[in-house]
Chains A and B, each alone.
Chain A
Amino acid sequence: MERLKHLIESLQVDSLLKDQLITELKAVEKELVGCEFKYSRTLMDKNAITNILNASITEIEKQKKIIEDARNKINESLEALDHQKKLIEIKNSELNNAMDNLKATQRQLIESEKMASLGELTAGIAHEIQNPLNFVNNFSEVNTELIEELSTEVDDENKKIIMSDLKQNCEKILFHGKRADAIVKNMLQHSQKNKGAKESTDINALADEFLRLSYHGLRAKDQSFVAEYKTEFDKSIGKIKIFPQDIGRVLLNLCNNAFYAVTEKKKMSNADYHPLVTITTKKTKNALNREIVEIVIADNGMGIPEKIRHKIFQPFFTTKPAGKGTGLGLSLSYDIIVKEHAGKFFAESTDGKGSSFVIELPVDNQG
């Protein structure tokens, strides 16, 4: 610039032009300074803007990462919550099951309490009836003998006829007295405390024996009796400790009932119906995870009507016609299984299709 100024001043031109040139030069100089400033200013701002934007990007990325981390954490929490929800659901259903079990147990407890008191009542009544019944039986026996003696002393035919009638009457009293005595003896078994120790018993053999006994017993009484039977035994059961006589009674009772049920159905059915009684044994575990032996006596008879199902274990409840059943079989069986053997005894039945009586005996008794 300075060189240009000197150059202009040294020019051999008139001073007006010289001044003009100098003015122009100054304007150019000003422009130049402005441009230089603009350039450096722009550079400085560019740097600043770049720095601010870069720092902003870094910051945004940092925040983005924080947000992503937070999102991941939330997702993890959600998963954990889901997991916990599932656990809670499982626990819930377990609790519900436990509740159901508890209710069932409670029901059973109430039932067994009822049965126990009914059993005791029954035994008490039996005991009270037994003595007067003994008098009835003994004196009707004595009367029979006395009438026989008297008839040898009397010649009058009319009197003999009357005495014969009296004798027959006494015999009838004795017959029915003996029947009553048998019922009373049955009733008394409710109160009989068990005698002696349990014996290691082969459940399968026991079940087989009493099934056959029942079958052949019924055949002997009634020639028209027709039914099939089947056994499905779990050979792994081995021997368990029970009172074999008592369990035998239970099995016989249940088999008789089953055959009775199928026979009754047979009477009402056509030829397509095949009466069948099945005994199944199985070693398994109960709801409390304890080992048990399960004996199921199933028939394809008429089933037990829903409305009387809850009464079947009560003493004197029977569906058989008068004289055919005492109504004590199932109630005694119940006492034997539940009280003597700490087992479970219950029935499953479908109306018209048949019934299953289930005996559960704890394997703790295994010997």
Chain B
Amino acid sequence: MTARNLFVDDIEQLKTKYGLAVSDGFRPSVAIVFSSISQDRKAIADFFNEKAITVFGSTTAGEILDNEVFENNTVVMLLDIRAADYCVLYREGEDTYQISQDIANHALDVFKNPAIIIISSGIAIDAEQIIKGVNSVDASIPLFGGLAGDDLTMKASYVFSNNFDSSNGLIALVINADKVLIKGLATSGWDDIGIEKTITSSKGNIVYEIDNEPAADVFVKFFKFTGSVDTKAEIIVMNFAQYPLQLKKDNGNVVLRAPMMVDANSKALIFAGSIPVGSKVKFSVPPGFDLIEKTAERVGKLKTSIPDPDAVIMFSCKARHLALGPLVTDEAEKIKAIWNKPMIGFFTYGEIGTAQNSLCDFHNETCSMVVLEELK
């Protein structure tokens, strides 16, 4: 399997760069498209329709291509994966759990041993339902992915394909795991700090009260935040998302939960993943700048299981981008250097993956890697 990466500013550039990429007879079957909401997704999808290439697309909060990091652009990875070894599935609907079940069932219809790379749109979605939905069908299906971004406007994110575009849906790249080796790892590095607190009122991913105080008030109090929390979504993410709650789940997984939005009326915080009542949480803070080395070191361990992949996909939390600032490029460089193979990715609002010594879970603040190698 061959992967070729294209960085595009606009549709004209796409046409030109695509022309160059296929000039040597390269015949891609799939285009992974990670695109800013400011880009013309429709035009891109139409272009690939013409070429009969399947689109697996998502909007972003920043794009990653090889060792570079972009904003407000489009990055494309063309893959000539065999038609018999993949399919792209999408569903739209409020009931995330149910449409995830649908996708898992469909994937099992197509392949005996499927692996799923899934992306969800929706700002207030409870992404944990995706994992629960898929696990309810077959917990052994390898599952990776993330939540689409919208350049931190916190209004609407999208997933899209050739003739599909939804701010309230799921898109899945289902791969025949018998033919394509697929591995992943999610690493965080955020450190917990301060005292343990208890979630005293919540519903799914909406947390109303922490230790019997309105959730937003607790964050405002703890960070001595002086601005208004209900004016601009970006402020919330900028100020709160970098200091997420660390949650120890019943299954032993330790995950981070970053607040995405504030409900001004109830002072509730809307997180990207659910936090049940009774959960013990702690605040966490970004690690030092050695995070980049640590992440690269941990991701590097994947190299033992797949030393020579065809393609690398990276779902990196937007909060990491904010925490690392211009140094995020260093991270991309270091991870790219592990395999030195085509790498595509974007900055997400949440990641689905498996942390070390853990079960597949929904995360925040992680760098979630997926590596693919088509078996000869």
Contact = CB atoms under 8 A, between A and B. Distances in A.
Nearest to B284: A52
B365 to A, nearest CB: 14
Contact of B195 (A30, A49, A56): A56
B196 to A, nearest CB: 9
Interface of A: 30, 33-34, 37-38, 41, 45, 48-49, 51-53, 55-56, 59-60
7 nearest A-B pairs in the assembled complex, by CB-CB distance: A56-B194, A37-B325, A56-B195, A52-B194, A55-B222, A51-B224, A52-B283
B326 A52 contact: no
Interface in B208-232: 221-224
Contacts of B222: 51-52, 55
A34 B223 contact: no
B43 interface: no
A59 B195 contact: yes
A49 to B, nearest CB: 6
Nearest to B287: A45
B193 A41 contact: no
A34 B243 CA distance: 21
Interface in B147-196: 193-195
B195 to A, nearest CB: 4
Given A33-B326, A55-B222, A38 B194 contact: no
B194 A48 contact: no
A49 B243 CA distance: 9
A49 B193 contact: yes
Given A45-B285, A48-B243, A55 B194 contact: yes
Contact of A41 (B221, B224, B243, B323): B323
A41 to B, nearest CB: 6
Interface string B108-133: 00000000000000000000000000
Contacts of A59: 195
A236 B194 CA distance: 83
Given A33-B326, A37-B325, A48-B285, 11 more contacts: A30-B326, A34-B325, A34-B327, A38-B325, A41-B325, A48-B242, A51-B222, A52-B193, A52-B283, A53-B194, A55-B222
B256 to A, nearest CB: 15
A51 B193 contact: no
6 contacts: A34-B330, A41-B289, A51-B224, A52-B222, A55-B221, A55-B222
A33 B285 CA distance: 22
Contacts of A30: 326
Given A45-B285, A56-B195, A59-B195, A51 B223 contact: yes
A45 B326 CA distance: 16
Contacts of B193: 49, 52-53, 56
Nearest to B196: A56
A30 B69 CA distance: 14
Contacts of B195: 56, 59-60
Contact of B326 (A37, A48, A60): A37
B276 interface: no
A49 B326 contact: no
Contacts of B289: 38, 41
B281 to A, nearest CB: 12
A34 B283 CA distance: 26
A56 B285 CA distance: 14
Contacts of B223: 48, 51-52
A52 B243 contact: yes
A12 B224 CA distance: 56
B204 interface: no
Interface string B326-340: 110010000000000
B300 interface: no
Interface string B223-253: 1100000000000000000110000000000
Contacts of A37: 325-327
A49 B285 contact: yes
A319 to B, nearest CB: 88
A49 B282 CA distance: 12
Interface in B291-330: 323, 325-327, 330
A48 B322 CA distance: 15
B243 A38 contact: no
Contacts of B286: 41, 45
Nearest to B322: A41
A45 B323 CA distance: 9
Contacts of A51: 222-224
B321 to A, nearest CB: 12
Contacts of A55: 194, 221-222
Contact of A38 (B221, B283, B327): B327
Nearest to A59: B195
A255 B31 CA distance: 134
A62 to B, nearest CB: 10
A33 B325 CA distance: 10
B305 to A, nearest CB: 33
Contacts of A48: 223, 242-243, 285
Contacts of A60: 195
Contacts of A56: 193-195
